[in-house]
Structure 1
Amino acid sequence: MIKKPVIDFHCDALSKMLLDPKLDFTQDERLDVNLTRMEEGGVRLQCFAIFLSQSLGKPKIEHILNQIDIFNQRVIRFGVTPVFTAEDFIALEQSGGQGGILSLEGADGLEGNLFYLQLCYEKGVRFLGLTWNYANWAADGILEPRGGGLTPEGVSLVKACHELGMILDVSHLSVKGFWELAELAGHSGRPFIASHSNAHHICPNARNLRDDQIKEIIRLGGKIGINMYPPFVKEGENTSIRDILPHIDHICSLGGEHTIMLGSDFDGIEIHLSDLQHAGQYADFANFLLKHYSEELVWGWLYGNAAGFLKAWLPPKEKAL
């Protein structure tokens, strides 16, 4: 079996560990992503999302800081290398170890305060999804019935992110919000990502990207993380890694072969693909892909496309706060 290096742009292990302090990141099998499984699956870099569960009550900055603390005390301390800058990522590549980077899934906990955005950036958060599925102070989510876009405060947030160097993430954002962000991104020259979304043409779930959205992400130089949650992969039951292929093929048909990366959604999902249930099985997934595509393409989707984006858009060391 060939083990390829992997970058995964979305998991919810931090939220899971916040809700259950007894979870052990090193090897607890209740975590889809743990240190042992990262090593087994060849995961070179894992993006850890800070997701504020509704069970926490009204979202607050302290909930974000609590998960950053979990990242520091229960992930990094056991050997995962934090990645804050482009130089950090290059050093990680050279070391061959396991790394972690932080994203914030939904601006709710920033409480409308741009100082808190600055604080999160200083503490290492490098990606920001404006919403989860519903409306907050910054924008409407994809499941918000009214289908609104960015609020005036949300526009200010986007501009502040562009100035700061925070990379924006459109997974969960409303369609109207997507296009408003795309216009702002076009003016700034900064691309954005969809960290964990698939192709709506293949699986018409609201969370998946329409063709024009995929083309816009490609045009702007962004990236799309393929999501492993079965309802986003295929309608119906008995979903496997084979059902990922039509999404890959479709995005490639739109010109996105260099846009695809991985965004598993592990630890944020209650059901899994039959043959890809945790990060330790990425080697099996890689070998399956190699039966259908060239090594160059597979390496790009598992690692290279995301790696190039990180080197280009993570802040250089001298500019990181």
Structure 2
Amino acid sequence: MGVGERKIVDFHCDALSKMQEMPDIVFKDDHRLDVTAERMAEGKVALQCFAIYLSSKRGRPRFEDVLGQIDHYRSGVLGLGGLQWLRWREETTNIGKDALSWGMLSLEGVDGLEGNLFYAQLCFELGVRFMGVTWNYANWAADGVLEQRNGGFTEKGRKLVEWCNESGMLLDVSHLSSAGFWELTELSKRPFIASHSNAAAICNHPRNLTDEQISALIAMDGRIGLTFVPWFVREGGEATSEELFGHIEHICSLGGEKQIMFGSDFDGIDAWVKGLEHSGKYSDFAEQLLRHFPEAFVKGWLFDNAITYLKCHLPSKPVQS
């Protein structure tokens, strides 16, 4: 796999939340961001998923804040950053074919929908394609992974999943409670993903996935976006890029080599894995992977596994009448 052939998909960053907090940030090359257009080009990131995350610093989550981050994406990332917008299955065939980079929108926690499924429909119509039901704690739809009671979905939450099944909105279980994870295996009609989680057997953090959860994702042909949060990589908090290899090897030992992708959590962290400080470092990381693993596997983890999932499960573009 030569340098020119290398392409990367990253399934999670929080650049939009930073841009909402600091409106003077310029996505093109502002180094207050881990993910910029310049750094994406340096790291050969062909597709970046941008999460809409509403920080508690802004007070009660409101739908107008969700709309505000969508506006930052449209004007600042697509406009000034020059990215293309991935919304439909048919568009996936264009990713990685030239020097253009693409962006995709996800919602990290449905708190800002305020329990209103009409707002969920608006998000879909405005181009959001993935939805994480919770952040770490309980909301109107379900419990998060740090909610001590470990509840599953509420009645409204089950209606939200039903709407996702009908609309084509895809689901993300990073941050969802264990009970919610297992309930969703019964409720969801499509394979779901964990956009930014690692293996709990290697690093026992509540945000990481147990072997049973990993096996369930493998069985449904979902995806696992290994993340670069240092305290999810190794206990103690400091980590190097090579320490991610243990998570990769463990998931592969469970049969998940075709389910692995990456979800960095860049711009959602204030400490970084050594060697993975921003999206421009992906090229160096790819070289590390190639020194330790078969090329076909590495291409899958960096690009093919994520794109194959999107080709199968993104909604199709409506036919114009």
2:271 pairs with 1:268: no
Q: Structure 1, residues 2-32: CA drift from partner, whole Å, max 9, x if none?
A: 3520000000000000000111100011100
Residue 100 of structure 2: which of 91, 97, 101 is its match?
A: 97
Instruction: Tell me by how many angstroms 1:92 deviates.
Output: 3.2
Please name the residue that 1:108 is paired with.
111
Q: Structure 1, residues 84-121: CA drift from partner, whole Å, max 9, x if none?
A: 00122222333441000000000101111111110000
Greater CA drift, 79-88 or 130-139? 79-88
Aligned equivalents of 1:92 and 1:317: distance in 2? 16
Please name the residue that 1:152 is paired with.
155
Aligned equivalents of 1:216 and 1:124: distance in 2? 28
Instruction: Tell me by how many angstroms 1:175 deviates.
Output: 0.2
Counterparts of residues 46-57 of structure 1 (less than 5 Å): 46-57=48-59
Please name the residue that 2:191 is paired with.
191
2:62 pairs with 1:64: no
Aligned equivalents of 2:309 and 2:173: distance in 1? 16
Residue 7 of structure 1: which of 6, 9, 17 is its match?
A: 9
Partner letter of residue 88 of structure 2? T
Q: Structure 1, residues 165-218: CA drift from partner, whole Å, max 9, x if none?
A: 000000000000000001112xx2x10000000000000000000000000011
Q: Using a 3 Å threshold, how does the CA distance of structure 1 residues 95 and 86 change in structure 2: closer, same or farther?
A: farther
Match of 1:271, SS state, is: coil
Kept after mapping to 2: 8 A contact 1:10/1:46: yes
2:21 pairs with 1:19: yes
Q: Using a 3 Å threshold, how does the CA distance of structure 1 residues 288 and 206 change in structure 2: closer, same or farther?
A: same
Counterparts of residues 1-321 of structure 1 (less than 5 Å): 2=3, 4-78=6-80, 79-185=82-188, 188=189, 190-318=190-318
Q: Using a 3 Å threshold, how does the CA distance of structure 1 residues 314 and 205 change in structure 2: closer, same or farther?
A: same
Instruction: Tell me by how many angstroms 1:316 deviates.
Output: 1.3
Kept after mapping to 1: 8 A contact 2:231/2:238: no
Aligned equivalents of 1:12 and 1:70: distance in 2? 12
Q: Which runs of 5+ in 1 are unaligned?
A: none
Match of 2:186, SS state, is: helix
Kept after mapping to 2: 8 A contact 1:208/1:232: yes
Aligned equivalents of 2:71 and 2:296: distance in 1? 38
Kept after mapping to 2: 8 A contact 1:81/1:92: no
Aligned equivalents of 1:173 and 1:10: distance in 2? 15
Kept after mapping to 2: 8 A contact 1:102/1:126: yes
Match of 1:272, SS state, is: coil
Q: Using a 3 Å threshold, how does the CA distance of structure 1 residues 43 and 156 change in structure 2: closer, same or farther?
A: same
**TM-score, normalised by the number of residues in structure 1:** 0.97
Match of 1:224, SS state, is: strand
RMSD: 1.2
Aligned equivalents of 1:65 and 1:310: distance in 2? 24
Q: Structure 1, residues 248-272: CA drift from partner, whole Å, max 9, x if none?
A: 0000011100000000000000100
Aligned equivalents of 1:279 and 1:23: distance in 2? 17
Partner letter of residue 2 of structure 1? V
Instruction: Tell me by how many angstroms 1:146 deviates.
Output: 1.1
Aligned equivalents of 1:15 and 1:214: distance in 2? 29
The structure 1 segments of at least 4 consecutive aligned residues displaced by more than 4 Å after TM superposition are none
Aligned equivalents of 1:107 and 1:56: distance in 2? 15
Partner letter of residue 251 of structure 2? I
User: How many pairs does the alignment contain?
Assistant: 317
Q: Which runs of 5+ in 2 are unaligned?
A: none
Kept after mapping to 1: 8 A contact 2:52/2:106: yes
Kept after mapping to 1: 8 A contact 2:19/2:25: yes
**TM-score, normalised by the number of residues in structure 2:** 0.97
Aligned equivalents of 1:74 and 1:193: distance in 2? 27
Q: Structure 1, residues 128-156: CA drift from partner, whole Å, max 9, x if none?
A: 00000000000000001111111111111
Aligned equivalents of 1:154 and 1:192: distance in 2? 16
